[in-house]
Amino acid sequence: MPDGVIVKALSGYYYVKPILNGRAVTTEGQPAIQCRARGVFRDRGISPLVGDHVVYTLSDHDEGTVTEIKPRHSQLIRPPIANVQFAVLVFSLREPDLNLPLLDKFLVHIEHSGLNAIICLTKQDLLDGKVMDKKDPIIFVQELYEQIGYEVILTSSRSGMGQEQLRERLAGHICVFSGQSGVGKSSLLNALMPSLNLETNEISMKLGRGKHTTRHVELIELDNGAFVADTPGFSQLDFLEMEVGDLSSCFREFKPFSDECKFRGCSHLHEPGCKVIAAVKQGEIAQIRYDNYMQFYAEMKDKKRRY
């Protein structure tokens, strides 16, 4: 029986493309095989996900049945997708303006899922041609996250800035594009591969946020051997699937200091001898990141009390 990867899940059907030696085989233009899943998965409470490596059988009508789901090496809850190798977090510099608390919230979820992240800042062309210097907030943001250890790519779908760099990073990988609504995820993918013709929408200036243009999770084939999941945008994320004690480990710059804290299980909020608090005061951890950590901690505690 052939192996495949689920590239789309819609209305109870799973659309499967073949894989070879454990890797997705890009076959641009070739339709995926429409499959149903065996009832045994439902009986076991298992739902196939986009990105799942599966075994399937073919019927006489060019349809198939998913008979086995291979073990997953990664899984995201939001968006629901499996076996992603890294996440591209797409945030705009303008329209809507860069939202650092939301970016950090996405990074927390990605870190908790065990994935690496690339931060892709879009709409560079909307900066009115201004020459950025070291005091510019965009340069500050780029340097902030690069110092933490994240790769940051500035892009523009109109000018083509950063597109070749991003294409090289995506080549041969399965990755997920995610981020706030209206930041240009679909426009960026269209620029990377014009034949996609993904639906896009103008930003809602009255609301200051984007209209949702992507309705379901789907793996999209690029012509460089990449599969990309273009996912619905989100205005907010919750922390219900995380324990509050896991939060600090999702701020990767905390680790060198948290290991030296006086108390095991230090919350890094008020304990004496907390090396993270000391690092913030000494400028070794950015105040804005620590402020977001405190905000997320309070949000998680509040949600746990209500649920």
**Residue 250 is labelled as binding a ligand:** no
62 is in an annotated binding site: no
125 has binding-site annotation: yes
35 is an annotated ligand-binding site residue: no
Q: Is 236 annotated as a binding residue?
A: no
274 marked ligand binding residue: yes
Is 181 among the annotated ligand-binding positions?
yes
Q: Is 186 annotated as a binding residue?
A: yes
Residue 179 is labelled as binding a ligand = yes
* Residue 70 among known ligand-binding residues: no
Check the annotation: does 184 bind a ligand.
Answer: yes
Residue 122 assigned to a binding site: yes
Q: If DSSP states are collapsed to H, E and C, what string results for the chain? A: CCEEEEEEEECCEEEEEEEECCEECCCCCCCCEEEEECHHHHHCCCCCCECCEEEEEECCCCEEEEEEECCCCCEECCCCEECCCEEEEEEECCCCCCCHHHHHHHHHHHHHCCCEEEEEEECHHHHCCCCCCCCCHHHHHHHHHHHHCCEEEECCCCCCCCHHHHHHHHCCCEEEEECCCCCCHHHHHHHHCHHHCCCCCCEECCCCEECCCCCCCEEEECCCCCEEEECCCCCCCCCCCCCHHHCHHHCHHHHHHHCCCCCCCCCCCCCCCCHHHHHHHCCCCCHHHHHHHHHHHHHHHHHHHHC
Q: Does 268 carry a binding-site annotation?
A: yes
| Annotated binding-site members for GTP | 122-125, 179-187
| Annotated binding-site members | 122-125, 179-187, 261, 266, 268, 274
| Annotated binding-site members for Zn(2+) | 261, 266, 268, 274
